[in-house]
Amino acid sequence: MWEISCPACRKLQSETSLATLSQCSRCQCELDSLRDITNAAAGAYVTSQQLLVTGDGPGALEQARISWELRRQPETAQLAFLAALLSADYENADHWYKVAEKIS
Ligand SMILES: [Zn+2]
């Protein structure tokens, strides 16, 4: 779902190997932990989307926050903004709007 670049040499890893990715294809840097964190962030992001669709704003916001703490993606900030709006939590909506603007 999200790309992984090697933190040592910056090589973007092939999307076809992300599920089993364990080493950088260029420098052999260990990427297991980065892959696991990215997968966990993507899982929380998808759960947040599903909760948003069902109308559970607070649940969606919590999952978006978890995803954000694991990996900071622009779309996660946008999702958190929508979840906060759905929850009528305008203070958080303002916060996430500013975060989304800053990172995009
Ligand atoms: Zn590398």
Average pLDDT, the chain: 94
When pLDDT is averaged across residues 75-95 and rounded to a whole number, the result is: 98
Residue 68 CA, ligand 1 centroid: distance in Å: 24
Average confidence (pLDDT) over 40-58: 97
CA of 75 to the centre of ligand 1 (A): 26
Expressed in angstroms and rounded, the spacing between residue 30 Cα and the centre of ligand 1 is 8
Residue 12 alpha carbon to ligand 1 centre in Å: 8
More confident: 46 or 104:
46
Structural domains of the chain ordered from first start? 29-103 (1.25.40)
Rounded to the nearest whole angstrom, what is the distance from the C-alpha of residue 8 to the centroid of ligand 1? 5
Task: Give the C-alpha separation, 10 to 22, whole Å.
Answer: 15
Identify the band that residue 40 occupies on the pLDDT scale cut at 50, 70 and 90.
very high
Say whether pLDDT at 21 is over 90.
no
The pLDDT of residue 18 is 73
